[in-house]
Amino acid sequence: MLIFNTISEIQEYLKSQQKTGKTIGFVPTMGALHAGHISLIERSKTENDLTVCSIFVNPTQFNNPEDLKKYPRTLDNDSELLQAAACDVVFAPSAEEMYPSLPQLRMDFGTLETVMEGKFRPGHFNGVGIVVSKLFNIIKSDKAYFGLKDLQQVAVIRQMVKDLSFDLEIIPCPTLREIDGLAMSSRNTRLSVEARALAPQIYKVLNLAQEKLQAGFSTKEIQEVVNQYFSQYPEFEVEYFEVADFDTLEPIEAKNETGKTALCIAAFLGGVRLIDNMVF
């Protein structure tokens, strides 16, 4: 496995590989890797000749400086996991390498970012859009792999690829969960033992809401069910719980009869912000 820290070095290497006709799959991450990330690497390996994983905790997508400071950084462990998964190339640039100066460009994703993550994390998708564009331009992969755990991120990236004619295919991948249903996340390592034991309630409430929606409950009724459910668990501070159209992410009044429905939640638990969703 090759590890590069500079843009010029990785570009030189990837160009030489592409000249020999090799296809490239790309998995962008912020590190603190777990089996969810590795599932993206594995998928890329089945579909490409070379798999590149980037590890970069992107400062411009954190609207909360404390969250950025506390974001876990585990490069040695990440390298071991990637090596074991037979990842071919790692790109781990410094912040200075990625941002020699602060970008002046601002990205606005319209209605895609006035809801949920965009609404509660102002500027987040601007930061995501800029760093992912930079990475796409550096790696020039044929395909890029993103987890549906970050459903809104997938929607934003797809829109960006369409609007800016990026020449690559976006492959959305399913969310990997722990045995108790908790969506795998780098942030889970920050949960205390007590909070970790409670965290799967997020998945339980998503299942409950799905059941009720299938039974014909309206969004308003579901939101009451969810509020009532969490009243048993005052440790959770629910930021949003939305029933949305899978494609537009616009809130809907009840189950989508013609397309997919997405249930999306963000909640703080013991100072850690967790997100999850379910699509049906």
Least distance to ligand AMP from the beta carbon of 243, Å? Answer: 21
Alpha-helical regions (H) of 71-150? 75-84, 95-98, 116-120, 124-139
Interacting residues with ligand AMP between 154 and 173 (CB under 6 A)? 173
Among 92, 176, 198, 279, binds ligand AMP (CB under 6 A): 176
User: Cβ closer to ligand AMP: 188 or 210?
Assistant: 188
Query: Do 134 and 107 touch, CB atoms closer than 8 A?
Result: no
Q: Does 82 bind ligand AMP (CB under 6 A)?
A: no
- C-beta pairs of 181-186 under 8 Å, 24+ apart in sequence: 181/207, 183/36, 183/149, 183/274, 183/275, 183/276, 184/34, 184/35, 184/36, 184/149, 185/34, 185/36, 185/149, 185/274, 185/275, 186/30, 186/31, 186/32, 186/33, 186/34, 186/71, 186/72
Closest by Cα among 230, 176, 173 to 199: 230
Q: Which candidate in 24, 26, 27, 37 is catalytic? A: 37
Residue 93 lies near ligand AMP (rule: CB under 6 A): no
CB of 176 to ligand AMP, least distance (A): 4
- Least CB distance from residue 231 to ligand AMP, whole Å? 28
**Site membership for ligand AMP, residue 136 (CB under 6 A):** no
Cα separation, 164 vs 149, in Å, equals 24
CB of 28 to ligand AMP, least distance (A): 6
What CA–CA distance (Å, rounded) separates 206 from 106?
34
37 is catalytic: yes
132 or 252: CB nearest ligand AMP: 132
Shorter beta-carbon distance to ligand AMP: residue 68 or 254: 68
Distance CA 182, CA 83 (A): 26
Rule CB under 6 A: say whether 60 interacts with ligand AMP: no
* 117 counts as binding ligand AMP under rule CB under 6 A: no
Looking at 54, 79, 186, 219, which residue binds ligand AMP (CB under 6 A)? 186
Q: How many residues bind ligand AMP (CB under 6 A)?
A: 17
CA distances from residue 195 to 49, 198, 235 in whole angstroms, order as listed: 41, 5, 8
**Dihedral Cα 212, 213, 217, 222, nearest 10 deg:** 70
Footprint (CB under 6 A) of ligand AMP, residues 33-52:
36-37, 39-40
Is residue 128 part of the contact set for ligand AMP (CB under 6 A)?
no
What is the binding site for ligand AMP (CB under 6 A)? 29-30, 36-37, 39-40, 146-147, 149-150, 173, 175-176, 183-186
List, by residue number, the catalytic residues.
37
